[in-house]
């Protein structure tokens, strides 16, 4: 059973095809693993064992008849409790959401997976409304790091990251408005991709607007490409969704990095103080990229820290998502969320539009940067996982989670594809390397990450 939980989605599908094992056996193993890890790491708000086994049995029969619905048929997947999953309450980490809703609709990404026969194991934890870079909430408590439960899993897709890292399903759907798939991926030692904005449709629209992306969280880039192939399909409910991509992301993985122009920015021009252990692990991985044939230059993008503009956009979104709540309900919110809601409520339309201006200029500068460089490489985070239950590292002097995530949120503002690749350990804790490409070049990010997998650089391998 434990061996099945260690297999990637691509390996599971190969095993189904060869008749080595079936979706029911795999799903039972994944559910058992989820139950085992839940008391210590708290990755799930809800397991859907009965429904999962029913879908696995139907998938197994399709595989027996040779009528499978595609390469994800029978593969276990988890869904962050921000995204709608038909038949299961989506409470968003909040005691202000009524569980007795209709819950009769899937989010677009979930709908595409349902059509392709994927098996939904359950809903994973999130901070309230996904507002911060760690995962704890008044509703579901603290989600802990799979490498050290005294430390945070990161957030806001922390439950998804912990589940993947510990074998409770090889695939997870997360959301990312300021780093929320990449932060927990880096802390938990898995792979995650924030695709180009609109590549994966989102419905209902996020209160955080076009900062919010849906992305795959997996052990390998190959699994992420497999998942992205399924969920990167237009949906009429999202007017901002992109048209279908030019081809299969899985088929584009094999191009390698030879000849790619890579800019390595270890600290964004000295703006970020990076832990020495993190810096050393990331530098070694960048050296391997060069060894694989990439042209690597240590240089920095023209990227003044846009944190104030990001705060304006983010705090306004938080105020909007809680706008309909009465006084009693507001008192039940996470105290940190209440603080930023108050700040967001004081902002004017002109404040918001000024932040949009900053965002547009940032996007222009990054677009010009990628005229010269195919990829930008940075650390995903300047630190390793810190104390669980805290928004910021103790003694850091930071006020909000954005203080320790300066490498992630800028690329939500620019809508670029960005991934966190697990490239080693510092003091026994995972370190992530961030790969960023120009908008619409998700294929380049996945190719480079896959090359690192194939070269044995990553924690998860391939």
Question: Which residues carry out catalysis?
Answer: 80, 156, 180
d(CA 266, CA 375): 14
DSSP codes of every residue in 369-390:
HHHH-SEEEEES-SS---BTT-
Q: Do 321 and 129 touch, CB atoms closer than 8 A?
A: yes
The CA-atom distances, in angstroms, between 294 and each of 124, 249, 262, 382, 442 are: 37, 20, 7, 24, 17
Structure tokens at 381: 């985070």
DSSP characters for 294-323?
-EEEE---S----HHHHHHHHHHHHHHHTT
| 141-142/171-176 β-pairing | unpaired
| HSE-up (13 A, CA, CB side) for residue 361 | 12
> Which DSSP category does 92 fall into?
T
DSSP helix/strand/coil, 362? helix
Reference 265, options 347, 138, 369; nearest CA is 369
Candidates 125, 135, 40, 151; CA nearest to 383 is 151
Phi–psi pair at 10, nearest 5 degrees:
-65, -40
Q: Is the dihedral of CA 402, 407, 411, 412 positive or negative?
A: negative
Which of these, 292, 205, 274, lies nearest to 241 by C-alpha position?
A: 205
Question: Is 455:288 a contact under the CB 8 Å cutoff?
Answer: yes
Q: Is 51 helix (H, G, I), strand (E, B) or coil?
A: helix
For Cα atoms 52, 55, 56, give the angle at the middle one, nearest 5 degrees. 85
Q: Where are the beta strands (DSSP E) in 201-326?
A: 213-218, 261-264, 295-298
End-to-end CA distance of the chain: 20
Question: Does residue 243 contact residue 198 with C-beta atoms inside 8 Å?
Answer: no
Q: CB-based burial of residue 331 (10 Å sphere; 0-12 exposed, 13-18 middle, 19+ buried)?
A: exposed
Sign of the Cα torsion 443, 444, 448, 451 reads positive
């Amino acid at each position: 059973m434990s061996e099945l939980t260690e297999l990637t989605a691509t390996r599971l599908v190969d095993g189904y095809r060869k008749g080595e094992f079936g979706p029911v056996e795999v799903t039972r193993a994944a559910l058992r693993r989820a139950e085992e890890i839940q008391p210590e790491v708290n990755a799930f708000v809800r397991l859907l064992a009965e429904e999962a086994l029913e879908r696995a049995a139907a998938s197994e029969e399709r595989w027996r008849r040779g009528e499978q619905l595609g390469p994800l048929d029978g593969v276990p997947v988890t869904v962050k409790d921000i995204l709608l999953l038909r038949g299961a309450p989506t409470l968003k980490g909040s005691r202000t959401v009524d569980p007795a809703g209709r819950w009769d609709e899937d989010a677009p990404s979930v709908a595409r997976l349902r059509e392709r026969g994927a098996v939904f194991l359950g809903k994973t934890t999130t901070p309230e409304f996904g507002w911060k870079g760690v995962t704890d909430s008044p509703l579901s408590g603290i989600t802990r790091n799979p490498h050290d439960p005294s430390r945070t899993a990161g957030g806001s897709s922390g439950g998804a990251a912990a589940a993947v890292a510990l074998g409770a399903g090889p695939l997870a759907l997360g959301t990312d408005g300021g780093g929320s798939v990449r932060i927990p991926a880096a802390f938990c030692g898995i792979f995650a991709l924030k695709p180009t904005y609109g590549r994966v449709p989102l419905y209902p629209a996020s209160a955080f607007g076009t900062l919010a992306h849906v992305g795959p969280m997996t052990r390998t880039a190959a699994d992420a490409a497999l998942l992205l192939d399924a969920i990167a399909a237009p949906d009429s409910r999202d007017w901002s969704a992109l048209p279908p991509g030019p081809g299969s992301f899985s088929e584009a993985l094999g191009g390698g990095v030879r000849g790619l122009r890579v800019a390595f920015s270890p600290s964004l021009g000295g703006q970020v103080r990076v832990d020495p252990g993190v810096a050393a692990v990331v530098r070694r991985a960048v050296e391997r990229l060069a060894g694989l044939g990439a042209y690597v230059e240590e240089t920095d993008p023209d990227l003044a820290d846009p944190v104030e503009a990001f705060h304006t956009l983010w705090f306004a979104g938080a105020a909007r998502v809680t706008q309909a709540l009465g006084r009693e309900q507001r008192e039940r919110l996470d105290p940190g969320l209440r603080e930023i809601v108050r700040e967001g409520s004081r902002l004017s339309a002109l404040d918001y539009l000024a932040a949009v201006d900053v965002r547009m200029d940032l996007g222009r500068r990054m677009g010009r940067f990628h005229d010269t460089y195919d990829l930008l490489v940075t650390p995903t985070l300047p630190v390793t996982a810190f104390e669980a239950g805290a928004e910021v590292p103790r003694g850091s002097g930071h006020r909000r989670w954005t203080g320790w995530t300066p490498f992630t949120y800028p690329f939500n503002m620019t809508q670029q594809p960005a991934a966190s690749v697990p490239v080693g350990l510092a003091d026994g804790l995972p370190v992530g390397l961030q790969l960023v490409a120009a908008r619409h070049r998700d294929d380049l990010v996945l190719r480079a990450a896959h090359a690192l997998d194939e070269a044995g650089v990553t924690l998860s391998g391939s």
